[in-house]
Every structure is written in C-alpha cells, then in structure tokens.
Amino acid sequence: MPFAWKSLARAQLVSLLALGLCTLAASCAQGSGDESAGPSNVGGAGGNNEGGVPDSSTGGKDGSSGTGGTSGTGGTGGTGPSTPGAQCDGCSTDDDCKSGFKCVTSPAGDRFCAQDCSSETCSDATTECVDLATYGGAADAGAADTDAGDAEAGGADAAAATGKACVPKQNGTCPCTAAREGRTRTCSKKNTYGTCLGTETCTAGAWVGCDAATASAEICDNKDNNCNGKIDMQEPGTDGNQLCAGGAKPPHSNFICVQGKCEIGDCDSGWARYPTNLPATAGCACAVDKGDIAPASNDTCAQSTDLGSIPDVGGSPVTVTGTLSSDTDVDWYMFTAQDVSQVPTPNAFRVHIEFLQPDGNPADEYVFDVLKVTASDPCPATGAKTELTSYDWCADVTTDPTQPADADQTALYRVRVYRKAGAIGTCNAYKLRITNGGNGACPAADACGAT
C-alpha cells in the first residue's frame, strides 16, 4: 500500500477509538444520582454515576466506609459508638458506663456512673465509698431522671444498683456537666410551712428550672398546700375552722371542709341557719324560739305554747316575741281569756290581738290566724279567722245582769303565726300583743279588726 494510504488509515483508526471512548464516557454520565445507604454498621454503596456528579453515601454506624458504586464515590465513614461514661456522667443502665463503673440513682433521682469500690478505693476525692443499699436514691432507682429520647429511662433497665460505689459525699448528687446535659433531678423549696418537691434540669452547666411549689398554710381547697402528703381535713391537729377562717368560728356554729369547699356544720342549740342563702361566714345567726328548741316544738295546734290566763279585769297585756327560723316554721300559742264578773257594772270582756307597732311586723312579713275553741275540741279543723294582722272581739254590754253580754264570756283561744304568702323570708322577729278588757262600741258579732 502506498505510504499516503497507510497514514490515512492510521489516522482514521485513531479517530474511531477516540469516538468510542467519548461515547462510553457519555453513557456513564447519564442516569440517577441517588446515594444508597447500607444497613446498620455497613458503609453505604456509592452512586451509579448516571447523570452527573453523584452524592457520596453515608457510612455505617461503626465507622466502616461505604462501598463505591459503578463509578460513584465511596460512602463516608460512620461516627462509631459513644464513649462509655466515667464518674458522674449520665447513664440509663450499667452498659452506658465504663468498665468498673455502675449506673447509680442519687437521692435526687438522677442517674450517674459511679466507680465500683467493692475492691478498690475511690479515685475521685469528692466522692466516698458507700453501700448502695443505704444510699438515698436506691429505693427510687429510675424514678426521676431522663434525657431526651430515653424512652426506657425509669423502666426495667434502671433497676437499683447493688454493692458498693463511689458517690458524692454527704448523700449528695453530681454536678451539672456537659456530659449530663438534659438530665433531670428532684429539687425542693422549703419555708416555715413545709418542703415541696419538684424537678430541675441540667442546662449549660447548671441545674435550673426547679418547678417545686411554695409551701403555704393548709386551707380548704382539696390540695396539699404544705406538701406533707395530707389534704384538708387529713391534716393532723386541724379542723374546719382552721382551714376555712384561720381558726375563727362562724356565729353559733363551726366550719367543715367538704371536698375542698367550706360549709357550715351543725348549729349550736337554739340557733338556725336562716335564710339559707346567706354566706357560710354568716353562720347560724337566727335565734330559735324557746318553744321550738328541741325537743320542744310549737309547730302544731296540739303543741301550742301556753301563755296562761288573761283576765279582763286586773290583767296585763301579754307580748310575745318570736322568729320563724325556716321556710316551713310556724308558731302556735294558746291562752285563756278570762271574764271576771263585774255585775252590776257593764262587762269589760274584750279580746284584742295585733302586731305591736311600730316594729312588730317588719316588712309586713307575718300574719296570724285566730281560733276560739272549747275544751272538748281544742283544735277544730274549721272556724278560724285567717290571715290577720289585728283581731278584736268583745261582749255587747248592757246594764241588765240577765242579758247574755253580762254572762261569763271566758273562752279558750289558739293563735297561729306564720309567714305571709309571697313574703321574702327573714329571721326578723315579730311582736304579738294580746290584751283583754276595754270599752267602747264592739264590732259586728264575731268580727275582727281594731275599734
């Protein structure tokens, strides 16, 4: 072959080889750039270099490098396991501590690595070797401290350590260090009322954020105010008066604490709580009539309070003061209106009953009924004059002793005092005045009303 053709052929072959290499390179530059991650403790696989510069994959946790892909970059090595804890470093189990150390719970509830001193002395001068069975936090292992993401803290892995270990002197707890960041422990606030516990956190080299309450005097609120584990009436040596009013009693009664609320206890004898809508601090300020003090009662006709005999000559007015100490309370009275013979002078027999003016019927709250009865039927069901504020009855007198008006008018009476319908109930006292004897024109037969 002539030399010129040989040179041309050689040049064409070089061109073809170059074109082939470029084509191969182009095909390698297309496709995904995803990185692949290997399983735990194995390096991630490299990218396949399809479509640009691939990301390198992440290495395994044990520090092994990732395996490179077809043309990708090998994975980066992992971070490896954390360094086991030394004295006072935070822990959840013994596995978190160096060999020769164990995970111990302090009196404050936080857990830390402590040197085992069963066969050697403590290397840290701020610690002392103690039997963990007597160390303050042994009984509460795992109860108080956690760190971020430690879901197992306080569980089965946090069982109380046994044997001997080096712990902070005087039953103390470890200081807050970078190795204990985020750990929590028990804290307290103390004053003259008591000591309250809470939790504080190791943050930036200091124990901060103690959320313990401030102890105060126990009061009736269904809470343990002085942090001694006793609530309200459980407090030794206290009572409702102390819890509700610092020892002061409400009038004629005592306070009792019920489910965190102050209520009135039983009233003293002779007193009632009325009206019932008064505040508890008002106590039992309504005086009960003598005739209504248990076991006595004048709430029915048969139990009427006896006012005795009121003659029409030589007698004195009778004034009765009373209260109605409940919405249903009524007062019954009875008396004998005696007609003293005055023949031949006109008969002065005249029974008059009224609320004494000006204050015998406050706010026009009360009314009364009158029954003129007989010994054989002292409490008849009918015949009463009702809803009165005044009653007046007298004999039509003449100068003739043979006339009925001059006959003996002696009679038995029953009077019932009660609250007027629609009246607002109070404990204001009524005053009822009863007289016998008088003169002047009489009202119509068996009528009532002052004349």
Chain segment 347-367, per-residue pLDDT in tens: 888 999 999 999 999 999 999
- As a whole number, mean pLDDT of residues 437-442 equals 78
Beta bridge partners of 207: 202
Identify which has the larger pLDDT, 86 or 13. Answer: 86
Tell me the pLDDT band of 82, cut-offs 50, 70 and 90.
low
| Residues contacting residue 47 through CB under 8 Å, at least 6 positions apart | 32, 33, 34, 35, 36, 54, 55, 56, 57, 69, 72, 73
Give me the percent of the chain exceeding a pLDDT of 90. Answer: 53
Compute φ and ψ for 264, nearest 5 degrees: -85, 135
Query: Do 435 and 395 contact (CB within 8 A), yes or no?
Result: no
Beta bridge partners of 258: 261
Mean of the per-residue pLDDT values of the chain? 79
Q: In whole angstroms, what is the distance from residue 427 CA to residue 206 CA?
A: 65
- As a whole number, mean pLDDT of residues 104-123 equals 89
Least Cα distance to 396 among 411, 413, 409, 412 occurs for: 409
In angstroms, the Cα distances linking 219 to 145, 233, 262, 320 are 32, 9, 10, 44
Q: What is the CATH number of domain 292-436?
A: 2.60.120
DSSP 8-state class, residue 185: E
Q: In whole angstroms, what is the distance from residue 387 CA to residue 263 CA?
A: 37
pLDDT for 185-197, tens place per residue?
A: 999 999 999 999 9
For residue 139 the two structure tokens come to 């009984």
Compute φ and ψ for 142, nearest 5 degrees: 80, 5
Least Cα distance to 111 among 74, 159, 65, 72 occurs for: 159
**What residue type is assigned to position 428 of the chain?**
N
Residue 19: the pLDDT is 45
Tell me the pLDDT band of 133, cut-offs 50, 70 and 90.
confident
DSSP 8-state class, residue 243: H
Given a cut of 50, whether residue 408 has pLDDT beyond it is yes
Residue 309: the pLDDT is 97
pLDDT for 140-197, tens place per residue?
A: 433 344 444 343 333 334 467 789 999 998 878 888 988 888 989 999 999 999 999 9
- As a whole number, mean pLDDT of residues 380-387 equals 94
* Domain boundaries along the sequence of the chain: 94-176, 292-436
pLDDT for 299-308, tens place per residue?
A: 999 999 999 9
